[in-house]
Amino acid sequence: MRNLFIILCVASLFSSCRSAKNLSQAISNKDSAMAVVLPVENDSVKMVKQTLSRIEANHIDFRTFSAKVKVGYADSRDQKYDFNAFIRIRKDSAIWISIIAALGIEAIRAIITPDSVKILDKLKNTVTFKKLSYIQEIANLPIDFRTIQDLIIGNPVYMDSNIVSYKQEPEVISMSMLGSFFKNYVTVSGRDYNLRNSKLDDVDLTRSRTANLSYDNYAMAGKWNFSGVRQISITEKNKLDIDMEFKQVQFDTEVDFPFNIPKNYKLK
């Protein structure tokens, strides 16, 4: 089960975030200077708008997606896992995941829709049916289907129009934005505006929770420039590192979502 959420990078991202009620309180208690947007200067505003427009132009808009993913996982307790997974997506409709354990044995098969999660544990012969809110409860974060989808595809997540800082250099452009749940420090390439790094800090200043998402090895997959290598580091009291390498990436081909439940499987 845990491997499923490693693939999605959902439960791992601030897995103990507090409720929306506490988030609202944290935002209201923040130093108001943090929420001040950039000064209204024609040149500065023009550069910010241009950058946001170029980032939006790189947003991968697809019909279907499929890939093989090599996943490496390590935490501060010296627990390490390496496994492969196959992922298929029909945009805004379904995410299908097959996790392969040692000796090429399929361990977990899951399908996620905008309102449900179904999981076959093929090692324990069990099946689980949950609402999508199950993932939200595990992550303790209001994550919707599209956020999960974007995390897998490599589109930016938790972007916000409240820009509090902006810096343009020859090779990179960086900007910090303040959203309802995170302060997001985003770095993109100054050449092609591809996402390079996203550093998420919890808006609750009493917590030291942070996540760093890096995107590398861009290559064309169909008509899209796709990040084939991702690294995620999550730190609070402990540290968690996840490496993902995407192979056999295809967009807009025919995909299916086999999910047959054997009669001997027990409901979990």
Q: Could you identify the residue written with the tokens 């938790």?
A: 158
Predicted pLDDT of residue 147:
87
Contact 244, 70 (CB under 8 A): yes
Number of domains in the chain: 1
**pLDDT by residue for the chain (268 residues), tens digit each?**
444 444 444 433 433 333 333 333 333 333 333 333 444 455 778 888 899 999 999 999 999 999 999 999 888 888 888 889 999 999 999 999 999 988 889 999 999 999 999 999 999 999 999 998 877 776 655 678 998 899 999 999 888 888 899 999 989 999 999 987 789 999 999 999 999 999 989 887 776 778 899 999 999 999 999 999 999 888 877 788 889 999 999 999 999 999 999 999 999 8
Query: Would 266 be classed as within a structural domain?
Result: no
Q: Show the domain range for 59.
A: 2-261
Residue type (1 letter), 254: E
pTM above 0.95, yes or no: no
Predicted pLDDT of residue 2:
45
Query: Would 174 be classed as within a structural domain?
Result: yes
Predicted pLDDT of residue 18:
33
Predicted pLDDT of residue 35:
34
Q: Given the DSSP bridges, would you call strands 172-178 and 182-189 parallel, antiparallel or unpaired?
A: antiparallel
Query: Would 267 be classed as within a structural domain?
Result: no
Query: Would 76 be classed as within a structural domain?
Result: yes
Phi, psi dihedral angles at 255 (to 5 degrees) = -130, 150
H helices within 77-192, ranges in order?
133-139, 145-153
Query: Would 35 be classed as within a structural domain?
Result: yes
Q: 17: domain CATH number? A: 2.50.20.10
Query: Would 268 be classed as within a structural domain?
Result: no
Predicted pLDDT of residue 80:
85
